[in-house]
Structure 1
Amino acid sequence: MNSSPRCYEIAITMGDPAGIGPEIICRALSAMSAAERATAMIIGDPAIYRRAAASVGAALEFVPLEQAESGKDHVAVGVVELPEGVEILDGQISAGAGDMAFRCVQKAVELVQARRAQVIVTAPLNKAALHEAGHHYDGHTGMLASLTGAPSSFMLLASETLSTLHVSTHVSLREAIDRVTPERIIATVEAGHAHLVALGMQAPRIAVAGLNPHCGEGGIFGDEDSRCIAPAVERLRERGFDVSGPISADTVFYRASKGEFDLVIAQYHDQGHIPVKLIAFDTTVNVSLGLPLQRTSVDHGTAFDIAWQGKADATNMGSAIAYARRLASGAKA
Structure 2
Amino acid sequence: MTTERAIIAIPMGDPAGIGPEITAKSLTKKEIYDMCKPVVIGDSRVFAKAIDIVEADLKINVISKPEEGKYEYGTVDLIDLDNINIEELEYGVVQAQCGKAAFEYIKTSVDLAKAGEVKALATTPINKESLKAAGVPYIGHTEMLEDLTNTKDPLTMFEVRGMRIFFLTRHLSLKDAIAQMTKERVHDYLIRCDKALQRLGIENRKIAVAGLNPHSGERGLFGREEVDEIGPGIEAGKADGIDAYGPVPADSVFFQALNGKYDAVLSLYHDQGHIAAKMTDFHRTISITNGLPFLRTSVDHGTAFDIAGKNIAASTSMEECIKLAAQYAPRFTAETME
Superposition TM-score, scaled by structure 1 size:
0.91
* 1:172-187 map, 5 Å: 172-187=173-188
SS at match of 2:209: strand
SS at match of 1:58: coil
Residue in 1 that maps onto 2:310: 309
Letter in 2 for 1:190: I
Change (3 A) 1:183 1:304: same
Letter in 1 for 2:276: P
The answer to whether structure 1 residue 204 and structure 2 residue 205 are counterparts is yes
- Report the more deviating stretch, 24-33 or 104-113: 24-33
The answer to whether the 8 Å contact 2:169/2:180 transfers is yes
Q: Distance in 2 between matches of 1:217 and 1:175?
A: 23
Change (3 A) 1:192 1:38: closer
Identity %: 37
Residue in 2 that maps onto 1:17: 15
The answer to whether the 8 Å contact 1:123/1:298 transfers is yes
Q: Distance in 2 between matches of 1:89 and 1:324?
A: 31
- Report the more deviating stretch, 157-166 or 62-71: 62-71
- Report the more deviating stretch, 33-42 or 192-201: 33-42
Please state how far the C-alpha of 1:248 moved relative to its aligned partner.
Answer: 1.4
Superposition TM-score, scaled by structure 2 size:
0.90
Change (3 A) 1:34 1:198: closer
Residue in 2 that maps onto 1:61: 59
Runs of at least 5 residues in structure 1 that lack an aligned partner in the other structure: 1-6
Residue in 1 that maps onto 2:268: 267
Instruction: Work out which of the residue numbers 39, 46, 54 in structure 2 matches 1:48.
Output: 46
Q: Distance in 1 between matches of 2:36 and 2:120?
A: 15
Q: Distance in 2 between matches of 1:307 and 1:85?
A: 15
Q: Distance in 1 between matches of 2:201 and 2:52?
A: 40
The answer to whether the 8 Å contact 1:119/1:327 transfers is no
Please state how far the C-alpha of 1:71 moved relative to its aligned partner.
Answer: 7.0
The answer to whether structure 1 residue 326 and structure 2 residue 327 are counterparts is yes
SS at match of 1:25: helix
Please state how far the C-alpha of 1:129 moved relative to its aligned partner.
Answer: 1.6
Letter in 1 for 2:147: S
Runs of at least 5 residues in structure 2 that lack an aligned partner in the other structure: none
Please state how far the C-alpha of 1:140 moved relative to its aligned partner.
Answer: 0.9
Q: Distance in 2 between matches of 1:37 and 1:271?
A: 33
Residue in 1 that maps onto 2:170: 169
Q: Distance in 2 between matches of 1:69 and 1:150?
A: 30
Q: Distance in 2 between matches of 1:149 and 1:86?
A: 37
Q: Distance in 2 between matches of 1:36 and 1:102?
A: 29
Q: Distance in 2 between matches of 1:86 and 1:40?
A: 28
The answer to whether the 8 Å contact 1:141/1:154 transfers is no
SS at match of 1:39: strand
- Report the more deviating stretch, 289-298 or 85-94: 85-94
Change (3 A) 1:71 1:19: closer
* 1:26-45 map, 5 Å: 26-32=24-30, 35-36=33-34, 39-45=37-43
- Any idea what the Cα deviations from partners look like across 1:275-301, whole Å, max 9, x if unmatched? 110011111111111222210011111
* 1:215-294 map, 5 Å: 215-294=216-295
Please state how far the C-alpha of 1:37 moved relative to its aligned partner.
Answer: 8.6
- Report the more deviating stretch, 61-70 or 283-292: 61-70
| Structure 1 vs Structure 2 CA RMSD | 2.3
Q: Distance in 2 between matches of 1:86 and 1:146?
A: 33
SS at match of 2:236: helix
Q: Distance in 1 between matches of 2:33 and 2:161?
A: 26
Q: Distance in 1 between matches of 2:126 and 2:69?
A: 30
Change (3 A) 1:35 1:209: closer
The answer to whether the 8 Å contact 1:17/1:48 transfers is yes
Letter in 2 for 1:306: I
Please state how far the C-alpha of 1:84 moved relative to its aligned partner.
Answer: 4.8
Residue in 2 that maps onto 1:4: none
Q: Distance in 2 between matches of 1:225 and 1:285?
A: 29
Residue in 1 that maps onto 2:115: 114
How many equivalent pairs are there?
328
Q: Distance in 1 between matches of 2:304 and 2:86?
A: 25
Residue in 2 that maps onto 1:144: 145
Please state how far the C-alpha of 1:228 moved relative to its aligned partner.
Answer: 1.5
- Report the more deviating stretch, 270-279 or 159-168: 159-168
Please state how far the C-alpha of 1:139 moved relative to its aligned partner.
Answer: 1.6
Q: Distance in 2 between matches of 1:82 and 1:318?
A: 26
Q: Distance in 2 between matches of 1:323 and 1:184?
A: 28
The answer to whether the 8 Å contact 1:8/1:116 transfers is no
SS at match of 1:323: helix
Please state how far the C-alpha of 1:190 moved relative to its aligned partner.
Answer: 2.5
Q: Distance in 1 between matches of 2:7 and 2:163?
A: 26
The answer to whether the 8 Å contact 1:90/1:307 transfers is yes
Q: Distance in 2 between matches of 1:86 and 1:180?
A: 49
Please state how far the C-alpha of 1:225 moved relative to its aligned partner.
Answer: 1.4
